[in-house]
């Protein structure tokens, strides 16, 4: 029988033996550079780390989401080191959000045609940018009200990985999110939207194209949130409410990691899991809020060698000597997505049963349609 200790114990065990696992990141660049174009023409700089283990059948796919902010990117040493460690048992994609790192190039003829991108409350000096056919975008140019639209970058990366899945290069039926601070917040909102996204399938009798009863969110088998934040730009975000469907209703495994002295992240993590009381806990063996003792480190900073968090994340996902991990318990077999040939719709709560929903992807498109994602944010 599989051994499933509490998430807290998994992390405690990982903190005991740090040296063998937390060697410094190698200088050799292990990731393959790729370019991913978003639906609104942003050129995302990304790296794909193919799983290095030939012994694992259908290894999962992990998408890593760095924090938002000037100077933030996917190139931070600890972030790269985590990707390279997870690569031993999974395929991993890291990328720079729009306006960050190397993801500053845009196709002006595409980007400035999107109404959301044209609004001065979303992009600074937007009229000048449009008239000048501006072909670059810096994070400092984005207004706080714009931030939810950055989730289109996550959608573009998922579309890329689904296409790669169909080529047999990864497995998005076992999909994992690792997010830090506001990157985790964006990931939580995106995950909520995935539980409202359905593929259109043909009814065997009427031959009409109708939404599948299964939501696409079912393919996310775990989330690791490092110091997740309850503020995204000018919006307050209730993490517990935003994640209500996957976290509480569907029991998607999630671990909320935070510095013990980071009161903000501590409050968000414990607030999101306030429903876990008494006998409820046994139904969520892989879900917990886990403090890292005696530190104010946050987000990517929690991956410092001295904390042992890097090893703990790997043990949580893949198991160690004393327990199975999330992937053993929740992993799914590889399935062809048929991404290009599939249409998707978003169906919000209250959508009439006779309604198809709002188009999310058209037939033969390689990307999802633009969405502001505001409707998937839940406040208090």
Q: Using an 8 Å Cβ cutoff, are 266 and 258 in contact?
A: yes
How buried is residue 363: exposed, middle or buried, by Cβ count under 10 Å (0-12/13-18/19+)? exposed
How buried is residue 140: exposed, middle or buried, by Cβ count under 10 Å (0-12/13-18/19+)? exposed
Note the pLDDT of residue 16.
Answer: 47
Nearest Cα neighbor of 252 from 185, 197, 188 is: 188
Note the pLDDT tens digit of each residue in 125-181: 999 999 999 999 999 999 999 999 999 999 999 999 999 999 999 999 999 999 999
Note the pLDDT tens digit of each residue in 51-109: 999 888 899 999 999 999 999 999 999 999 999 999 999 999 999 999 999 999 999 99
**189-220: b or e for each residue (b if 16 or more CB lie within 10 Å)?**
bbbbbbbbbbbbeeeeeeeeebbeeebbbebb
Note the pLDDT of residue 25.
Answer: 42
Note the pLDDT of residue 128.
Answer: 97
Average pLDDT over residues 267-294: 92
Note the pLDDT of residue 195.
Answer: 97
Question: What beta strand segments (E) does 139-277 contain?
Answer: 175-180, 197-202, 209-211, 220-226, 231-232, 235-236, 254-259
Note the pLDDT of residue 2.
Answer: 42
Supply 315's token pair: 């043990």
- CA angle (42, 46, 50) in 5-degree steps: 145
Whole-angstrom CA distances from 9 to 6, 62, 87 are: 5, 23, 24
pLDDT at residue 26 greater than cutoff 70? no
Note the pLDDT tens digit of each residue in 327-336: 999 999 999 9
Spatial distance between the Cα atoms of 43 and 318, rounded to a whole number of angstroms? 33
pTM of the full predicted structure? 0.94
Spatial distance between the Cα atoms of 114 and 161, rounded to a whole number of angstroms? 24
| More confident: 356 or 103 | 103
Mean residue pLDDT of the chain comes to: 92
pLDDT-derived band at 24, boundaries 50, 70, 90:
very low
Note the pLDDT of residue 271.
Answer: 97
- Reduced 3-state DSSP string for 173-189: CCEEEEEECHHHHHHHH
- CA angle (141, 146, 152) in 5-degree steps: 110
Interhelix angle 77-86/309-318, nearest 10 degrees: 30
Task: Characterize the bridge pairing of strands 220-226 and 254-259.
Answer: parallel
């Amino acid at each position: 029988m599989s051994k499933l200790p509490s998430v807290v114990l998994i992390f405690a065990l990982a903190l005991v033996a740090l040296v063998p696992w937390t060697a410094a990141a190698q200088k050799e660049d292990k990731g393959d550079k790729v370019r991913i174009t978003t639906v609104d023409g942003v050129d995302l700089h990304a790296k794909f780390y193919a799983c290095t283990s030939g012994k694992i059948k259908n290894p999962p796919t992990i998408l890593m989401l760095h924090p938002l902010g000037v100077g933030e990117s996917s190139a931070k040493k600890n972030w790269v080191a985590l990707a390279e460690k997870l690569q031993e048992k999974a395929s991993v994609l890291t990328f720079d959000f729009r306006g960050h790192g190397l993801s500053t190039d845009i196709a002006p003829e595409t980007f400035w045609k999107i109404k959301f991108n044209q609004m001065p409350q979303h992009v600074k000096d937007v009229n000048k940018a449009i008239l000048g056919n501006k072909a670059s975008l810096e994070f400092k140019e984005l207004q706080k009200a714009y931030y939810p639209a950055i989730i289109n970058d996550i959608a573009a990366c998922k579309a890329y990985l689904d296409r790669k899945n169909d080529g047999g290069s990864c497995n998005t039926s076992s999909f994992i999110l690792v997010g830090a601070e506001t990157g985790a917040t964006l990931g939580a909102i995106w995950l909520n939207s995935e539980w409202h996204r359905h593929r259109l399938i043909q009814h065997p009798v009427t031959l009409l194209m109708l939404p599948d009863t299964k939501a696409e969110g079912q393919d996310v088998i775990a989330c690791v949130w490092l110091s997740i934040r309850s503020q995204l730009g000018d919006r307050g975000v209730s993490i517990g409410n935003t994640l209500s469907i996957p976290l509480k209703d569907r029991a998607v495994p999630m671990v909320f990691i935070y510095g013990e002295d980071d009161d903000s992240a501590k409050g968000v993590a414990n607030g999101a899991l306030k429903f876990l009381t008494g006998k409820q806990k046994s139904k969520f063996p892989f879900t917990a809020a886990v403090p890292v003792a005696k530190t104010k480190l946050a987000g990517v900073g929690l991956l410092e060698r001295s904390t042992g968090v890097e090893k703990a994340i790997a043990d949580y996902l893949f198991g160690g000597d004393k327990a199975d991990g999330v992937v053993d318990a929740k992993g799914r077999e590889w399935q062809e997505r048929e991404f290009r040939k599939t249409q998707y719709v978003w169906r919000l709560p209250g959508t009439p049963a006779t309604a198809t929903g709002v188009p999310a992807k058209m037939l033969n498109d390689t990307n999802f349609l633009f969405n502001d994602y505001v409707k998937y944010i839940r406040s208090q």
